[in-house]
Chains A and B, each alone.
Chain A
Amino acid sequence: MSRPPEQPAADHRGQRESLGAYTLGALAPAERAAVDAHLGSCAECREELARFAGLPGLLNHLSADEAAEGVVPPQLPLEAILRPAAAARRRTRRWLRAWQAVAVLAALALLVVVVPWPGGESPGQVLTAEPADPSLRIDASATVEPREWGMAVTVQADTLPTAAGYRLEAVAHDAHRTPVATWSATDPAPLRLTGSCYLAADELSHLELHGVDGDETDLLATFRG
């Protein structure tokens, strides 16, 4: 095949952009012939085409409907399980293996258990919030009530520093930590909610309240008795 001395730039560009359709076999016969002719004289396009060569085979790993609908879930909601599961596992001693099932349930439960606890039962232990930084205005307390499966923690907050969201964690005497509750900012601030965790009340050292903004978290306060 004779090689044109100069490749018109516009033609090269047009033919090159046809290489995707060429690879997928979607060109009309005349267009296909034009690309073939161009390929004979353009090493750059031959190289580009070679790089596309394996793609149709890979695409065939999916059915047409799967490709059209996407078999990628919007977001696998596992992240929510990982942290509590990991915490529970760390804490679990071998002789406490039976605890694992309980811990999983607790971990799953705390995803949804941010509901008011029926008041008027045992008074529980009251912890008051100490700001992590003296400049932070915080007026909040937490009531910890032992339960058979761990403890219920009721937070009463009248003033909290501004944050998009909040996360309350329980910290054990051995520094092990586990989530208790997460919630979004409310307006006005007064708020009462109950979270839970599998930590036994007598294992609790203190609670930590973190402000969450995107990936950033800030320690806002610790709750101690």
Chain B
Amino acid sequence: MGEHAAAGDPLAGTETGAWLRALHESYAGPLFVFAYRALGDRATAEEVVQDTVVRAWQHADRFDPSRASLGTWLFAIARNRIIDERRRRGARPREVTLEGAEVTAAAPFDAESLDRAVEAWQVADALSRLSADHRAAIVECHYRGRTVREAAERLGVPEGTVKSRLFYGLRALRVVLEEQGVVE
């Protein structure tokens, strides 16, 4: 235990609340994305995030920064919780089929999936800060691959409005990503 503190126990001599808050701010989002991708439903994904934070707090003395980063450790806790959840579900018919095959595919865990979850979270978070109009234009034209004309039809607005929303939407997105430190 003493050696653990010497190795940089995140709780040693610090305000636990501050640590948990920092942990929440840095990892709750990525953990949510990770769990959501693995389980396909929000409510359970949120439970996994909560449980992960509580377990991390309970077992903080087991965290050894010389063996894994805090993120890797947290994701390992979350992964175990997700595996339990899947096992539990395996005994019953699937409750949710949000994204079909994507959801049922296993979520392998490695450093890359952590990175991917963090990146996905950053973009999801940035998109959530845009106005609904700006976001809808970007979803139509980028994610659905529609032209301005098609998007205008679907959204029921003139083409010029779609162009304007894409322009100002991307600008806003850029500003948010800059604030997050994702782009310079």
Q: Is B148 a contact partner of A73 (Cβ separation < 8 A)? A: no
Which one of A16, A21, A81 contacts B50 once the chains associate, using CB atoms below 8 Å?
A81
Q: Is A81 a contact partner of B53 (Cβ separation < 8 A)? A: yes
Alpha-carbon distance A68/B42, docked complex (angstroms): 14
Alpha-carbon distance A65/B120, docked complex (angstroms): 12
Q: Is B24 a contact partner of A76 (Cβ separation < 8 A)? A: yes
Alpha-carbon distance A35/B98, docked complex (angstroms): 39
For residue A56, which residue of chain B has the nearest CB? Answer: B142
For residue B47, which residue of chain A has the nearest CB? Answer: A77
Q: Within the complex, what minimum Cβ distance (angstroms) separates A113 from chain B?
A: 17
Map CB proximity to A onto B156-179 as digits: 1 under 8 Å, 0 otherwise: 000010111111111101100100
For residue B28, which residue of chain A has the nearest CB? Answer: A76
Q: Is B36 a contact partner of A71 (Cβ separation < 8 A)? A: yes
Q: Is A52 a contact partner of B123 (Cβ separation < 8 A)? A: no
For residues 51 through 92 of chain B, which have their beta carbon under 8 Å from a beta carbon of chain A? 53-54, 57-58
Map CB proximity to B onto A65-89 as digits: 1 under 8 Å, 0 otherwise: 1111111110011110111011101
Q: Is A24 a contact partner of B166 (Cβ separation < 8 A)? A: yes
Within 8 Å CB of A76, what residues of B? 24, 28-29, 32, 46, 49-50
Which one of B28, B54, B119 contacts A61 once the chains associate, using CB atoms below 8 Å?
B119
Map CB proximity to B onto A15-28 as digits: 1 under 8 Å, 0 otherwise: 01111110110111
Which one of B32, B144, B164, B182 contacts A73 once the chains associate, using CB atoms below 8 Å?
B32
Alpha-carbon distance A81/B183, docked complex (angstroms): 32
Which one of B1, B16, B102, B141 contacts A24 once the chains associate, using CB atoms below 8 Å?
B141
Number of interface residues of B (CB under 8 A): 64
Q: Is B127 a contact partner of A70 (Cβ separation < 8 A)? A: yes
Which one of B16, B37, B99, B148 contacts A89 once the chains associate, using CB atoms below 8 Å?
B16
Q: Is A64 a contact partner of B162 (Cβ separation < 8 A)? A: no
Within 8 Å CB of A51, what residues of B? 174
Known: A20-B170, A72-B125, A78-B53. A64 touches B16 (CB 8 A): no
Q: Within the complex, what minimum Cβ distance (angstroms) separates B97 from chain A?
A: 12
Map CB proximity to A onto B78-116 as digits: 1 under 8 Å, 0 otherwise: 000000000000000000001100100000000000001
A94 interfacial contact with B, CB 8 Å = yes
Q: Measuring CB to CB, which residues of chain B are less than 8 angstroms from any residue of chain A?
A: 1, 11, 15-17, 20-21, 24, 28-29, 32-33, 36-37, 42, 45-46, 49-50, 53-54, 57-58, 98-99, 102, 116, 119-125, 127-128, 135, 138-139, 141-144, 146-149, 151, 160, 162-171, 173-174, 177, 182-183
Q: A65-B99, A78-B49 are in contact. List 9 more A-B contacts (CB 8 A).
A: A21-B148, A61-B123, A65-B102, A67-B135, A71-B36, A72-B125, A87-B17, A89-B16, A104-B54
14 interchain pairs, CB-CB under 8 A: A24-B142, A28-B148, A58-B119, A58-B122, A58-B123, A59-B142, A59-B143, A64-B144, A70-B128, A71-B33, A71-B37, A86-B16, A86-B17, A86-B20
